[in-house]
Amino acid sequence: MVRSLSFVCALSTIVTICSTSYADDNDNQISPSEVQQGQSIAPVQLNLAGKSPAQVYQGSYIVNSTGDCSGCHSFPQYLQQGGPGTNPAAGDPFEGTPQTQSVTDQLLANINTSHYLAGGQCFGPFMARNLTPESNDQPYPGLPEGLTEAEFIKVMRTGEDIHCEKEASDPICALGPPTDVLQVMPWPTYHSMTDSALKAIYAYLTAVPSANACNTVANGCPGFSGDAQSTPNSYAYANAPDCPNPAPPQ
């Protein structure tokens, strides 16, 4: 009986260890585990110091797949083949064909890692915010948009623009007409997420490296403000391999 119990305990330990292993020999394949998949698809080096890796990877899964945060907050999100990025051997997946992609392996795409989640994309007069942690020369270093976890959850549940309430001097807050709630950010979609999901997103955003957008507030939004007001078909930022100008339509 004791031997049997020891065997069961040993087996249980092995299963536990296996279930919390976040890396395997098939990182190029889509994992059935959201935590493992979140680790595999994170396009940048993460700072896990003082954080729960499982929570951060869960946040990565939401941000980089179901939440599509990069689709609005990385601009341009994808680069041409051969340029800098996650996978220079690939390119912009929208320029490929269905046969370019696999149903079992990770997405083939050259993600713009230098400006990942740094914002800059315009939606009419509104510009997407920089979601990466504030740097040491900013008021709230290490916090995405200068928000605490509780403030971040409040934004996601109510649409209240707490960032601009705390940092009214941020020039991006002056872009677009003043509104009571965030107009482009799809916060109603995120409202009903669980606390654990929203906390995982926040943990992930605190773990990504700080980055700057390709374009500035002075560049403005095409047709509405700044240097881009008179150039509705392009963004007026400096031309560089990871900031092509004009940006590709995405």
Supply the range of the domain harboring residue 192.
Answer: 45-77+112-230
Task: Let me know: does 81 contact 248? Beta carbons within 8 Å.
Answer: no
Residue 11: pLDDT above 70? no
Residue 147 lies in a domain: yes
Count the domains in the chain.
Answer: 1
**Dist. CA 50–CA 27, nearest whole Å:** 24
Residue 2: pLDDT above 60? no
The DSSP secondary structure of 46-76, one letter per residue, reads: ---TTS-HHHHHHHHHIIIIIS-HHHHHBSS
Tell me what pLDDT residue 147 has: 97
**Dist. CA 23–CA 109, nearest whole Å:** 21
Residue 104 lies in a domain: no
Residue 98 lies in a domain: no
- Phi/psi zone of residue 231: left (φ > 0), alpha (ψ -120 to 50 degrees), beta? beta
Type of residue at 222: P
pLDDT digits 0-9 by tens, 12-29: 433 333 444 434 444 689
Determine which of 51-55, 56-60, 85-89, 221-225 has the lowest per-residue pLDDT on average: 221-225
Residue 203 lies in a domain: yes
Residue 125 lies in a domain: yes
- For tokens 């999901």, the residue is 197
In this prediction the pTM is 0.87
Residue 244 lies in a domain: no
Residue 63 lies in a domain: yes
Residue 235 lies in a domain: no
